Amino acid sequence: MASPSQTHTLSLTQITDKKPSGASCENVEVKSINAQLLMVAQASLKLSLLADSPFPGKITWGRSSLRRSWLRSLFSASPVWLAPLTALSFFVTLSQYDGSLSKFVAAISQEGFLPILNAYGPRFTLKGTLAYTCWIALQATLFKCLPGPINTGQRTPAGHLLAYRTNGLWAWVITHVLYVALCWFGILDPGFVPRNWGGLVAAMNLAGFLLSAFAYAKAYVMPTHPDDRNFSGTFAPLPFSRLSLITDILGSAPFDFYMGIELNPRISELFDFKLFTNGRPGLIAWTLMFVPSISPPDTMLTLACRDISNIAYQYQIHHRVAPSIVLVTILHFLYVLDFFVNEAWYLRTIDIAHDHFGFYLAWGCFTWVPTMYTLQAQYLGLYPTSPSTAYLAVVFGIGLAGYALFRSVNDQKDRVRRSGGKCSIWGKPAEYITAAYKTSDGAQHESILLCSGWWGWSRHANYVGDLLLSTAMCALVGTTEPLVWFYAVFMAVLLVHRCIRDEERGSAKYGASWEKYCRQVPWRLVPGIW
Ligand code: NDP
C-alpha cells in the first residue's frame, strides 16, 4: 500500500513544469501573445479573431468535446439542475416521508413538487452559513499551510507536469483532534451538525454553485494554464460560421459550466482547486460526523445527519444501536481514510489527471458527496432495521473484499507508474506496454500501460472493487427501499460511463499502443461479461 511516506518526495525546484523540447524564449513569448489574443477575442466575440486557432498544435486526447451539437451539450449539462433537485428531494424524503421515495412521489403528485420543497426543504440560517464558511476557511488554511511531501501528477495535454503538496492525512487528523477538543472544552456543541443540518445543506449548495461560477469566470479572465483549457463550442479554436454562433453559445455555456474549462485551476503555485475541493471539505466532513452527538436533536429534519452522529441518534431515539449502522460506518470510514493515506495515488486518477474543473467536481464534492454518499447511515439513524447476523456477516465480508480489491488494483497501477515499470506484481516482474503520446507543445512522451496482475485481468478491475464495496454499503441496511440503494446504482452508472470515456481518451492518446493493450487485455470490467 502506497502512503505519503513512501512517495518519492521532490523539492519544488526539481519539478519540471512544462519544459517543451527545444522551447526557446521566443516560443514562450509567442505562446503568451497567442493566449492574450484569445482572451481579447473571447471578450469581444470577434469572429475574425476566433477563426484563427490560437493553439495550432492542440491535441485531442483531453476532453473530447469540441464542436458538440448544442442539443447534446444542453442534455449533457442537465445534472446542473437535476442533481441539486435530487439531493433536495432525498433530504425531504428522509425527514418527512420515512425515507420512502414512493411516499414522496405520491405526495408531490398530490400537492406539487415546489410546495413540498418550499415547506420541508433546507433553509438558510445564519448559524449554518457562518459555520460552513468557517469550515471552508479552516480546510483551505490547512491545505495551504500544512507541510507535506511534494508529488507530481500526470503530464497534461499541453505538456505541464504539476507539483502537489499532499498533506491530507495531517489535515484529517488535525481537524478531528480540533473538533473533539472544542467539544471536550464545551466551546462547540457536539450536536451542532445534526441540529443545523438543514442550514448546512443550504449553505453547501450555495457554496458549490458559487465555486462553479468562479471556476467558469476564472477560466476566461484569469486562467492558470490557458493552453490546457477546453471549450466545447463557442470559443473552440475552429472556424465556424456566423449562423452557428447562437447555437454555439447556447450549447457550450451550460456544458462548459458543468464539465469545466480549466484543467488545473490554481491561485498560487500549490493551491490547486481540484485537489482541495475533491478531498477536503466533503471527504473530511464525511468522517468528522463520526464524532457522536450527545445532545438530543430537536426536530426530525436535523436528525438526518451521518454515520456516528446517526448511531448516536439511533441510540437516543430507539435505545439500541443496530449492528448494521456500525458496519456501514466502518466501511465508510475505511473508504475515506484510504483516500488520505494514499493521497499521492489520487494524483494519477481521472479526477485529477483528466477531468476539468466545473460544476461536476465543484458542486459535486461540496454537496453531492456529503449529502448523497451517506444515505445509508442517514436512513439507519432514523429507521433502524434488523437483518440477521449471518446476512450481515456475508455482506460485510463482500464489502471488505471489495475494498481489498479496490486498494490492490489501484496500488498496482500506482507502483508501476511511479517506478517506471521496475516493480514486481504478484511476485513477478511487471508486464507492461510502453506507449508514446504527444502533448500540444509538440513534445513526445512515453507512458506505461500495465498488463499483468489485476490489470491483466480486466482494464478497470478497480471499478469492480468499488462496485462490490458500494453494493455492500447499501445491502447492509437490509431493506429494498430505493433511496438506500441509490448510491450503488449511481456508482454503477458513474463507473460504466467512466469506462467508456476513459477508453475513448486512451485510444486518442496512445493510438496503436492502446489497441495493442486492448488486444492483450480484452475485457473492460469483468472477464466474460463486458
Ligand atoms: P483509474 O485510477 O483507473 O485511472 C484511469 C487512468 O489510468 C487512465 O485515464 C489512464 O491515464 C491510466 N491507465 C489506464 N489503464 C492503465 C494501465 N493499464 N496501466 C497504467 N495506467 C493506466 O480510474 P479513476 O480515476 O476513474 O478511478 C480511481 C479509483 O477511484 C477507482 O478505484 C474508482 O473506483 C474510484 N472512484 C470513486 C469515485 C467515487 O465517487 N466514490 C468516483 C470515481 C472513481 P493516463 O492518461 O495517465 O494513461
Q: What is the pLDDT of residues 406-425, one digit of tens each?
A: 999 999 999 999 898 899 99
The three-state secondary structure class of 392 is: helix
**Out of 35-44, 78-87, 239-248, 347-356, least confident range:** 35-44
Nearest residue (CA) to ligand 1, atom 39: 491
Q: How far apart are CA 338 and CA 327, in angstroms?
A: 17
* 370/205: higher pLDDT: 205
Task: List pLDDT tens digits, range 432-473.
Answer: 999 999 888 788 899 999 999 999 999 999 999 999 999 999
**Out of 36-45, 113-122, 454-463, least confident range:** 36-45
CA of 372 from ligand 1 middle (Å) equals: 22
Number of Cβ atoms within 10 Å of the Cβ of 66: 16
**Out of 43-57, 219-233, 345-359, least confident range:** 43-57
- pLDDT-derived band at 255 (thresholds 50, 70, 90) equals confident
Confidence (pLDDT) at 381: 77
Q: How far apart are CA 353 and CA 351, in angstroms?
A: 6
Q: Which of 63, 355, 375, 462 to mutate to test the pocket of ligand 1 (most atoms within 8 A of CB)?
A: 462
**Out of 2-6, 144-148, 277-281, 488-492, least confident range:** 2-6
Residue 158 contacts residue 227 (beta carbons within 8 Å):
yes
CA of 204 from ligand 1 middle (Å) equals: 27
CA of 495 from ligand 1 middle (Å) equals: 10
- pLDDT-derived band at 197 (thresholds 50, 70, 90) equals confident
For residue 317, give the amino acid letter: I
Query: Which residue stretches of 15-125 are H helix?
Result: 25-44, 47-50, 70-76, 79-96, 101-111, 113-120
Q: How far apart are CA 219 and CA 229, in angstroms?
A: 7
Confidence (pLDDT) at 440: 82
Q: Which atom of ligand 1 is nearest to the CA of 417?
A: 20
Query: Which residue stretches of 282-388 are H helix?
Result: 285-288, 300-303, 307-318, 323-341, 343-346, 350-353, 359-363, 369-372, 375-382
Extended beta strands in 215-275, E state:
none
Residue 405 contacts residue 339 (beta carbons within 8 Å):
no
CA of 75 from ligand 1 middle (Å) equals: 25
Confidence (pLDDT) at 119: 94
Confidence (pLDDT) at 246: 57
CA of 175 from ligand 1 middle (Å) equals: 28
Confidence (pLDDT) at 67: 55
Considering only CA atoms, which of 183, 156, 140, 422 is closest in space to residue 284? 140
Q: How far apart are CA 35 and CA 47, in angstroms?
A: 16
Average pLDDT, the chain: 80
Confidence (pLDDT) at 179: 83
Q: Give the chain's end-to-end CA distance (angstroms, integer).
A: 28
CA of 380 from ligand 1 middle (Å) equals: 32
Extended beta strands in 195-319, E state:
none
Q: Could you tell me the CA-to-CA distances from 170 to 25, 45, 284, 341, 416 in Å, in that order?
A: 40, 47, 11, 10, 26
CA of 260 from ligand 1 middle (Å) equals: 19
Residue 95 has pLDDT above 90, yes or no: no
Q: Which atom of ligand 1 is nearest to the CA of 409?
A: 32
* 199/29: higher pLDDT: 199
CA of 29 from ligand 1 middle (Å) equals: 35
Mean pLDDT for 65-82 is 73
Confidence (pLDDT) at 292: 37
Q: Which of 368, 407, 447, 463 to mutate to test the pocket of ligand 1 (most atoms within 8 A of CB)?
A: 463
Q: Which atom of ligand 1 is nearest to the CA of 463?
A: 34
CA of 165 from ligand 1 middle (Å) equals: 20
Number of Cβ atoms within 10 Å of the Cβ of 46: 11
The set of protein residues with a Cβ atom below 6 angstroms from ligand 1 is 154, 349-351, 353-354, 406, 410, 413, 417, 447-450, 455, 462-463, 466, 494-495, 498, 502, 509
Nearest residue (CA) to ligand 1, atom 16: 449
CA of 498 from ligand 1 middle (Å) equals: 9
Q: Which of 338, 361, 466, 501 to mutate to test the pocket of ligand 1 (most atoms within 8 A of CB)?
A: 466
The three-state secondary structure class of 516 is: helix
Query: Which three cell numbers mark 530?
Result: 463486458
Q: Which atom of ligand 1 is nearest to the CA of 351?
A: 25
CA of 170 from ligand 1 middle (Å) equals: 25
Task: List pLDDT tens digits, range 271-323.
Answer: 999 999 988 887 777 766 543 333 333 322 233 334 545 555 556 666 666 78
Angle separating helix axes 244-259 and 197-221, nearest 10 degrees: 130
Q: Could you tell me the CA-to-CA distances from 387 to 324, 395, 475 in Å, in that order?
A: 8, 11, 10
**In degrees, to the nearest 5, what angle opens at C-alpha 466 toward C-alphas 99 and 350?**
110
Confidence (pLDDT) at 311: 58
- pLDDT-derived band at 206 (thresholds 50, 70, 90) equals very high
Residue 87 has pLDDT above 70, yes or no: yes
Q: Which atom of ligand 1 is nearest to the CA of 413?
A: 20
Nearest residue (CA) to ligand 1, atom 7: 349
Bridge partners for 165 per DSSP: 150
Extended beta strands in 442-511, E state:
444-450
